Structure 1
Amino acid sequence: MTANPWIGAYEARSSARLRLFCFPFAGGSASAYRGWSAALPPDVEVCPVQLPGREERFAEPAFRTIRELVPVLAERLDRLLDLPFAFYGHSMGALVAFELAHELRARGRAGPLALFPAAHQAPTVPLLDALSARTDAEVVAYVKRMSNRPELDEYPELLRLLLPTLRCDLSLCDTYVHERRSPLACPITVFGGREDEISCAELEAWRAETTGAFDVELLPDGHFFLTTSRGLLLQRLSCALDLLVR
């Protein structure tokens, strides 16, 4: 596991009965999920996915389309699917997790026991604006607004360094095209922020993507409730994961 560059911020658990693969938001990395293990059930092993173009993989080119990324992910994570598993994906990561679940099914592999998309509208809801086509200044302003972190102004050099990867990630979302397929069979629980720009109707539209159980969990704050409502998110996620490992 530790030799796999696609998994970062990993904490092994010998008692694990289920792996939770966590997929990053645009511009994000595996470190966003650091410390999750301590707040989740002891038999759940958290596996934060580290995509190229960030942190220790900074020198590697980031993927620009989901169509290119997902088959590679299916191959690189294959050896880690020997335990039952679930997927959590935040924002861009929700699309990646969803498409990976379909890719595994297409390959005849067992899929996730549950899918937890967060902070992203259903795949059938088109984006209204191509963020990757905006100027650098507009992209930076968008990130500051969505993350509600004005202190990012203190680190202009860091933002400039992250912009190429962020643009690739935004392109990955902008170029996404939903393919009509049979719904997944696993339960889907969608997490959304009450103050996010994504509407309840856009979250509810995920219902069409599964024949299994479906639920929407709304949390305080905006798009990055992953950080601002971390404790509450992990509490609700723990309850859902407990049901999977019983």
Structure 2
Amino acid sequence: MLFPVDSWIRDFGLAPAAPVRLLCFPHAGGTAAYYRPLAAALAPDVDILAVQYPGRQERFRERLVDTVGELADGVADAVRPLLYQPLSFFGHSMGAAVAYEVALRLQTRGHRLRTFFVSGQSTPAARRDRGVHSLPDGLLAAELQRLGATDPAILADRELLGVLLPAIRADYRAIETYRRSYEPTLDCPIVTLTGTADPYVRPSEAAAWSRLTRHDFAFHELPGDHFFLDTQRDRVCEILRRHLTPSPTADRR
């Protein structure tokens, strides 16, 4: 079950007493509920919260947002009440870009994250416009099928797909038009995860996040495509635990 902390943030209610808190940012077309399995796997040691973008699930009637900057503005305001204890971010795909922008906004206000996790995303300066957001509905659905980003049952349901595609298209427009010529560094460690067969992000592009931190950097390349999070969940949880609750002798490779 999802509990609203704010219009932008959902709590799974599985680890309220955990000493470690991680806010997760969904991929393009994703929802807060995508992180439910991760929340269950990491409880009770880590309290997982997740961002809910406008235009999906219980926010269905809200205006869609199609820029990373506006999404980040909304989350940055919503996250302020959570800053009374150490907070880390985990962003996958588009979510990593939104999380980075939120981290920068918090940093300018004097707040530092504990750890920033980047999954399946290249650095902000990379070119990422593949024209997916401009595709006709049929071709956009085919791209979702190719990536394995959407339940095949949804792709086969034309009526339901028609309801969901506007939000998915807005997300793709947000990430495909996002690019920074200047990449400010973060005042926290960065941990990058990427899939060996990701068609969107080469390992070298994922590793380039090393230049965006003033602190420790760790790079993890896992078997799988863009959604290696689904097939490598146990390994992902192991990495998260290691970096969220490090011991003095922890292996940081």
The answer as to 2:208 corresponding to 1:205 is yes
Aligned to 2:174: 172
Change (3 A) 1:222 1:85: same
How much does 1:11 deviate? 1.5
- Work out whether residues 124 and 183 of structure 2, in 8 Å CA contact, stay in contact via their aligned partners in 1: no
Judge conservation of contact 1:123–1:206 (CA < 8 Å) in 2.
no
Task: Work out the CA distance in 2 between the residues paired with 1:148 and 1:183.
Answer: 30
Q: Deviations over 1:74-102 (max 9, x none)?
A: 11121112110100001000001111111
Change (3 A) 1:74 1:148: closer
CA distance, structure 1, for counterparts of residue 208 and residue 218 of structure 2? 11
The answer to whether the Cα contact below 8 Å between 2:192 and 2:206 also exists between their aligned partners in 1 is yes
Partner of 1:157: 159
Structure 1 residue 143, shift from structure 2 partner: 0.9
**In 2, Cα distance between the equivalents of 1:61 and 1:88?**
25
Q: Distance in 2 between matches of 1:201 and 1:79?
A: 36
Equivalent positions of 1:1-246 (< 5 A) are 2-11=4-13, 13-40=15-42, 42-108=44-110, 110-147=111-148, 151-152=152-153, 153-197=155-199, 198-243=201-246
1:221 offset after TM fit, Å?
Answer: 1.4
The CA deviation at 1:181 is: 4.6
Q: Is the 8 A contact 1:9 1:34 kept in 2?
A: no
C-alpha separation in 2, matches of 1:145 and 1:181: 31
Root-mean-square deviation over aligned CA pairs: 2.2
Q: Give the Cα separation in 2 of the matches to 1:114 and 1:148.
A: 26
Q: Work out whether residues 39 and 235 of structure 1, in 8 Å CA contact, stay in contact via their aligned partners in 2.
A: no
CA offsets, 1:165-216, max 9 Å, x none?
A: 0111011112212152541121111111111111111111111111211121
- Do the aligned residues in 1 keep the contact of 2:5 with 2:11 (CA within 8 Å)? no
After TM superposition, give the deviation of residue 107 of structure 1 in Å: 2.0
> Does the 8 Å contact 2:25/2:50 carry over to 1?
yes
CA 1:139–1:42 in structure 2 vs 1: closer, same or farther (change >3 Å)?
same
Q: Which runs of 5+ in 1 are unaligned?
A: none
Per-residue CA distance 1:46-72 (angstroms, 9 max, x = gap): 111111111111111121112222122
* Deviating 4+ runs (over 6 angstroms): none
CA contact (8 A) 2:26 2:51 kept: yes
Q: Answer yes or no: is the 8 Å Cα contact 1:85–1:113 preserved in 2.
A: yes
205-214 vs 173-182, greater mean Cα deviation: 173-182
Counterpart code for 1:176: Y
Q: How far apart, in 1, do the equivalents of 2:16 and 2:143 lie?
A: 42
Q: Compute the displacement of 1:236 (Å).
A: 1.7
Aligned identity (percent) is 35
Higher mean displacement: 59-68 or 175-184: 175-184
SS at structure 2 position matched to 1:157:
helix
Q: Is the 8 A contact 1:23 1:30 kept in 2?
A: yes
SS of the equivalent of 1:35 reads helix
2:103 aligns to what SS in structure 1?
helix
Matched pairs, number? 245
Paired amino acid for 2:144: V
